Amino acid sequence: MANYNRRDFAKLVVLGGIGYTVFACGEDAKKEKSDVKDEVPKMPELLPKNVQLYQKADAEYQELAVRFNKRFQQSPTYIAQCFTTQGVADAVKFARFKDLKVVVKSGGHSFEGFSSTNDGLVVDVSAMKTMEWTSDHSLTVGAGCILKELYDEMLPKQRILPSGSCATVGIAGLALGGGYGFFSRKYGLTCDSLQEITIVDGNGNILHESGNSAILKACKGGGNGNFGIVTKMKFRTYQAPKFFQAFRCKSYKLDTKRAKELLQTWFRYTEKLPKTAFSAFVLNGKTLTILITSYSDDDKEVLQMYNALKAKSDKATIGSKRPLAKALKTFYGVQHPIYFKNACAGLYKDFAEIEGCIDDVISKVISSRGLIYQVNTLGGNINSTAAEKRSVYPHRSYPYLSELQSYWDKPSQEASRLAAFQEVQEYFYQHGIRAHYRNYPDINFKDFQTAYYGKYLPELKKIKQQLDSENRIQHPQSI
């Protein structure tokens, strides 16, 4: 979650029409074309209204090659800028014809550069930005929409989707790996609101999936660049709250003992938070920001937590109850590419799980320039049995998600930043922390597939075999 105090983290990112009928009614899954793959791949017809192919010499290529993480500056052989689902299907068929691997890009915010490549074809769906409402307040979006575009569409209609806070993150990459944010403890993960998808498989077939479809289920937590390219997503939306309020407690020049005490207190009080509240513990070097947010008048526990932490902090502020659209903008973060390394630092059940290594973790964070350790609250309705059955997100019983972050200005700073980062990851690993969030990948995770997908890995391997037996669609941590 991109949570940050604007001043301290100023340079950082921390944190239509009615009756749309593209999806097959009354069917769980329907293929638009035969799923029999051409044994000898044929060159597809590439119509400019569907797809444009670019190579290095093209000016458009240079623009489309940019990713949010400047650490990755890859040069794919081709970039296929797709405008329609047919264009995506044709681009995949072209990749088969040329025997190139396919990498998928929507918002371009992958922590580890998984939406580009040096030797294949990038299917870029970022221009697919259609948005269509149905009369039941569901919203169907093209896979190229980014979060601020969604909020701009939904909030004037007093609707929300539980999703992330950073403006330029793509809804596709976020929802296909789970997706969480300020509203998730009440409304679940972003993927829990996903009702229907259009997806192109590794042979270029177009599929529409809804209801109890196993492919739809696999896309709820396991869909990032693994076995298909999602081009459209239909989401349920919810009545937006009337206001949004942020509480902050800050502490400076912390030593390990005091930071640990504050973390313990934070864990104790977050257990009692209502589902309408969210909190993040953000230790940036020796400075700690604790953020609590709420959008309900029932804020007894929020105030209890705020007061308990205020008593132990150097400074505390209660923000005013602001209109949602205005309040969310303060969490939009940096919107241009930057150098960074972010990764999951584990999902936990409680403080006891990290107690044995937390002194080492905090000492390292406090003594390392630019290293941030953040713990976010999940829990609430994320931990729903009904949602569990319909998705492959395996970590619902973990109410805490932690992450490490580091940001820098020049490539020469990278090596030392990564070394400190890896040292902290190693403390957690040695202590038995093994569960990780798919959307916060780390190229160094051992046994990453189990860490991301847990008991759902065999199910996902089956879907991979079904949709992409040639392993056309791939990235360094794909299935």
Ligand X SMILES: Cc1cc2nc3c(=O)[nH]c(=O)nc-3n(C[C@H](O)[C@H](O)[C@H](O)COP(=O)(O)OP(=O)(O)OC[C@H]3O[C@@H](n4cnc5c(N)ncnc54)[C@H](O)[C@@H]3O)c2cc1C
Binding site for ligand X (CB under 6 A): 1-2, 13, 68, 103-111, 114-115, 125, 143, 164-166, 169-170, 172-174, 176-177, 179-181, 223-225, 229-230, 333, 439, 475
The least CB distance from residue 373 to ligand X, in Å, is 16
Please provide residue 341's backbone torsions phi and psi, each rounded to the nearest 5 degrees: -130, 120
The least CB distance from residue 171 to ligand X, in Å, is 7
Give me the residue whose beta carbon is nearest to ligand X: 173
Instruction: Judge contact between 414 and 340, C-beta under 8 A.
Output: no
Instruction: Judge contact between 203 and 191, C-beta under 8 A.
Output: no
Q: Cβ closer to ligand X: 152 or 360?
A: 152
The least CB distance from residue 41 to ligand X, in Å, is 21
Q: Cβ closer to ligand X: 251 or 376?
A: 376
The least CB distance from residue 181 to ligand X, in Å, is 5
Give the total residue count for the chain: 479
> Which one, of 146, 162, 168, 145, lies nearest residue 15 by Cα?
168
Torsion angle of alpha carbons 412, 413, 414, 415, nearest 10°? 90
Q: In what order do the strands lie in the sheet with 277-284?
A: 315-318, 245-251, 287-294, 277-284, 371-377, 400-408, 339-348
Q: Cβ closer to ligand X: 362 or 401?
A: 401
Q: Cβ closer to ligand X: 225 or 379?
A: 225
Q: Cβ closer to ligand X: 294 or 313?
A: 294
Q: Cβ closer to ligand X: 197 or 288?
A: 197
Q: What is the CA radius of gyration of the chain?
A: 22
Q: Cβ closer to ligand X: 176 or 218?
A: 176
The least CB distance from residue 189 to ligand X, in Å, is 8
Q: Cβ closer to ligand X: 114 or 408?
A: 114
Q: Cβ closer to ligand X: 65 or 366?
A: 65
Q: What burial letters (b/e) apply to 432-451, b meaning 16+ CB within 10 Å?
A: ebebbbbbbbbeebeebbbb
The least CB distance from residue 307 to ligand X, in Å, is 27
The least CB distance from residue 257 to ligand X, in Å, is 31
Euclidean distance between CA atoms 113 and 107, whole angstroms: 12
The least CB distance from residue 430 to ligand X, in Å, is 26
Q: Which residues pair with residue 347 across a beta bridge?
A: 401
> Which one, of 129, 126, 130, lies nearest residue 116 by Cα?
126
Euclidean distance between CA atoms 291 and 374, whole angstroms: 11
The least CB distance from residue 253 to ligand X, in Å, is 27
Euclidean distance between CA atoms 281 and 401, whole angstroms: 11
Q: What burial letters (b/e) apply to 212-248, b meaning 16+ CB within 10 Å?
A: ebebbbbbbbbbbbbbbbbbbbbbbbbebbebbbbbb
Q: Which residues pair with residue 372 across a beta bridge?
A: 284, 405
Q: Cβ closer to ligand X: 162 or 241?
A: 162
Environment class of 119 (CB within 10 Å of its CB; exposed 0-12, middle 13-18, buried 19+): exposed
The least CB distance from residue 226 to ligand X, in Å, is 7
> Which one, of 451, 437, 381, 411, lies nearest residue 174 by Cα?
437
